[in-house]
Amino acid sequence: MLQIVFRSHLTKLLSYTDIQRLCLAAARNNRKAGVSGFMIECGGVFLVSIEGEHRDVHGVLDRIFQYPHHDGIEIVYSEENLGRRRFGAWAMNVMFMDDDVFWQTVFGSGLSCDEILLHRTMEPVFALGLLAMAYHYACSRTKILPSPVGARPGRIPRISHMFRR
Protein backbone atom coordinates (compact mmCIF):
# COMPACT_ATOMS: atom_id res chain seq x y z
CA MET A 1 0.00 0.00 0.00
CA LEU A 2 1.16 3.56 -0.79
CA GLN A 3 0.55 6.81 1.08
CA ILE A 4 1.22 10.21 -0.46
CA VAL A 5 0.85 13.49 1.42
CA PHE A 6 0.82 16.69 -0.59
CA ARG A 7 0.18 20.38 -0.15
CA SER A 8 -1.56 22.55 -2.70
CA HIS A 9 -3.48 25.78 -2.89
CA LEU A 10 -6.49 26.87 -4.87
CA THR A 11 -6.11 29.25 -7.78
CA LYS A 12 -9.18 31.11 -6.43
CA LEU A 13 -10.86 30.93 -3.05
CA LEU A 14 -13.97 28.78 -2.78
CA SER A 15 -16.76 28.84 -0.23
CA TYR A 16 -17.03 26.17 2.46
CA THR A 17 -19.98 24.73 0.53
CA ASP A 18 -17.97 24.52 -2.70
CA ILE A 19 -15.09 22.81 -0.88
CA GLN A 20 -17.55 20.36 0.70
CA ARG A 21 -18.89 19.56 -2.78
CA LEU A 22 -15.35 18.99 -4.07
CA CYS A 23 -14.66 16.73 -1.11
CA LEU A 24 -17.79 14.67 -1.76
CA ALA A 25 -16.88 14.29 -5.45
CA ALA A 26 -13.34 13.24 -4.45
CA ALA A 27 -14.76 10.75 -1.92
CA ARG A 28 -16.97 9.14 -4.57
CA ASN A 29 -14.08 8.88 -7.04
CA ASN A 30 -11.69 7.60 -4.37
CA ARG A 31 -14.15 4.98 -3.17
CA LYS A 32 -14.49 3.62 -6.71
CA ALA A 33 -10.69 3.54 -6.96
CA GLY A 34 -10.25 1.90 -3.53
CA VAL A 35 -8.38 4.93 -2.18
CA SER A 36 -8.92 6.54 1.21
CA GLY A 37 -7.88 9.98 2.33
CA PHE A 38 -8.16 12.96 4.58
CA MET A 39 -7.39 16.64 4.11
CA ILE A 40 -7.27 19.85 6.05
CA GLU A 41 -7.93 23.26 4.54
CA CYS A 42 -7.27 26.82 5.56
CA GLY A 43 -7.52 29.88 3.35
CA GLY A 44 -7.46 27.83 0.16
CA VAL A 45 -4.38 25.85 1.22
CA PHE A 46 -4.77 22.07 1.52
CA LEU A 47 -2.72 19.37 3.15
CA VAL A 48 -3.93 16.01 1.84
CA SER A 49 -3.17 12.34 2.44
CA ILE A 50 -4.26 9.67 -0.02
CA GLU A 51 -3.56 5.96 0.44
CA GLY A 52 -4.25 2.70 -1.30
CA GLU A 53 -2.70 0.41 -3.86
CA HIS A 54 0.12 2.02 -5.89
CA ARG A 55 -1.67 2.23 -9.24
CA ASP A 56 -4.89 3.48 -7.61
CA VAL A 57 -3.13 6.25 -5.66
CA HIS A 58 -1.16 7.32 -8.74
CA GLY A 59 -4.39 7.38 -10.78
CA VAL A 60 -6.02 9.68 -8.21
CA LEU A 61 -2.91 11.85 -8.04
CA ASP A 62 -2.87 12.16 -11.85
CA ARG A 63 -6.48 13.44 -11.74
CA ILE A 64 -5.55 15.94 -9.02
CA PHE A 65 -2.61 17.25 -11.08
CA GLN A 66 -5.02 17.87 -13.98
CA TYR A 67 -7.59 19.68 -11.83
CA PRO A 68 -7.42 23.35 -12.93
CA HIS A 69 -8.24 24.82 -9.49
CA HIS A 70 -5.08 23.45 -7.80
CA ASP A 71 -1.79 25.28 -7.99
CA GLY A 72 1.63 24.63 -6.56
CA ILE A 73 1.16 20.97 -5.73
CA GLU A 74 4.08 19.84 -3.59
CA ILE A 75 4.63 16.23 -2.48
CA VAL A 76 5.49 16.48 1.21
CA TYR A 77 5.75 12.79 2.09
CA SER A 78 5.48 9.40 0.43
CA GLU A 79 5.66 5.95 1.99
CA GLU A 80 5.55 2.64 0.15
CA ASN A 81 4.68 -0.71 1.69
CA LEU A 82 2.40 0.90 4.25
CA GLY A 83 1.15 -1.86 6.56
CA ARG A 84 -2.30 -0.35 7.05
CA ARG A 85 -4.25 2.77 6.21
CA ARG A 86 -3.58 5.69 8.52
CA PHE A 87 -6.59 7.70 7.33
CA GLY A 88 -8.96 4.92 6.26
CA ALA A 89 -12.27 5.91 7.85
CA TRP A 90 -13.34 7.94 4.83
CA ALA A 91 -12.70 7.73 1.10
CA MET A 92 -11.99 11.46 1.57
CA ASN A 93 -13.01 13.98 4.19
CA VAL A 94 -12.05 17.57 4.95
CA MET A 95 -11.56 19.51 8.15
CA PHE A 96 -11.47 23.29 7.96
CA MET A 97 -8.67 24.65 10.13
CA ASP A 98 -9.30 28.38 9.99
CA ASP A 99 -9.67 29.08 13.70
CA ASP A 100 -6.74 31.38 14.58
CA VAL A 101 -7.29 30.83 18.32
CA PHE A 102 -6.63 27.10 17.78
CA TRP A 103 -3.41 27.83 15.88
CA GLN A 104 -2.20 30.31 18.48
CA THR A 105 -2.93 27.86 21.29
CA VAL A 106 -1.08 25.00 19.60
CA PHE A 107 1.79 26.87 17.92
CA GLY A 108 2.11 30.14 19.82
CA SER A 109 0.89 33.68 19.52
CA GLY A 110 0.96 35.43 16.20
CA LEU A 111 0.70 32.32 14.04
CA SER A 112 -2.21 31.45 11.81
CA CYS A 113 -3.05 28.43 9.69
CA ASP A 114 -2.26 30.45 6.58
CA GLU A 115 1.31 30.95 7.79
CA ILE A 116 1.77 27.33 8.86
CA LEU A 117 0.33 25.75 5.71
CA LEU A 118 1.44 28.21 3.04
CA HIS A 119 4.59 30.02 4.07
CA ARG A 120 6.59 27.43 5.95
CA THR A 121 8.65 24.55 4.74
CA MET A 122 6.47 21.53 5.36
CA GLU A 123 8.40 18.88 7.27
CA PRO A 124 6.99 15.37 6.72
CA VAL A 125 6.70 14.61 10.45
CA PHE A 126 4.87 17.90 11.03
CA ALA A 127 2.52 17.26 8.10
CA LEU A 128 1.64 13.75 9.28
CA GLY A 129 1.17 14.93 12.86
CA LEU A 130 -1.11 17.78 11.83
CA LEU A 131 -3.21 15.50 9.62
CA ALA A 132 -3.36 12.83 12.35
CA MET A 133 -4.48 15.35 14.97
CA ALA A 134 -7.29 16.67 12.76
CA TYR A 135 -8.26 13.15 11.62
CA HIS A 136 -8.54 11.78 15.14
CA TYR A 137 -10.54 14.83 16.19
CA ALA A 138 -12.96 14.28 13.28
CA CYS A 139 -13.25 10.55 14.05
CA SER A 140 -13.89 11.28 17.71
CA ARG A 141 -16.58 13.88 16.96
CA THR A 142 -18.38 11.55 14.52
CA LYS A 143 -17.92 8.42 16.66
CA ILE A 144 -16.23 6.64 13.74
CA LEU A 145 -13.35 4.26 14.36
CA PRO A 146 -10.09 5.83 13.10
CA SER A 147 -8.74 2.42 12.07
CA PRO A 148 -11.52 0.63 10.19
CA VAL A 149 -11.40 -3.14 10.13
CA GLY A 150 -11.18 -4.97 6.79
CA ALA A 151 -10.24 -3.97 3.28
CA ARG A 152 -13.47 -2.10 2.50
CA PRO A 153 -12.77 1.35 1.03
CA GLY A 154 -13.48 4.33 3.27
CA ARG A 155 -16.98 5.74 3.61
CA ILE A 156 -18.45 8.78 1.92
CA PRO A 157 -18.66 11.54 4.55
CA ARG A 158 -21.80 13.40 5.52
CA ILE A 159 -21.66 17.17 5.49
CA SER A 160 -21.85 17.00 9.29
CA HIS A 161 -18.54 15.07 9.25
CA MET A 162 -16.74 18.03 7.64
CA PHE A 163 -15.74 20.05 10.67
CA ARG A 164 -14.70 23.57 11.24
CA ARG A 165 -12.35 23.46 14.21
CA distance 150 to 102: 34
3, containing H or E segment: strand 2-10
pLDDT reported for residue 149: 61
Q: Do residues 9 and 72 make contact, with C-beta atoms less than 8 angstroms apart?
A: yes
CA distance 31 to 125: 27
Considering only residues 159 and 65, tell me which one the structure prediction assigns the higher pLDDT: 65
> What mean pLDDT do residues 103-116 have?
67
> What mean pLDDT do residues 100-129 have?
72
Note the pLDDT tens digit of each residue in 17-45: 999 999 999 999 999 999 999 999 988 88
pLDDT reported for residue 12: 87
Q: Do residues 77 and 1 make contact, with C-beta atoms less than 8 angstroms apart?
A: no
pLDDT reported for residue 122: 80
Three-state secondary-structure class, residue 100:
helix
Q: Map out the domains of the chain with their CATH numbers.
A: 2-161 (3.30.70.100)
pLDDT reported for residue 113: 73
State the amino acid at position 159 in one-letter form: I
Q: Is the overall model pTM greater than 0.75, yes or no?
A: yes
> What mean pLDDT do residues 73-82 have?
93
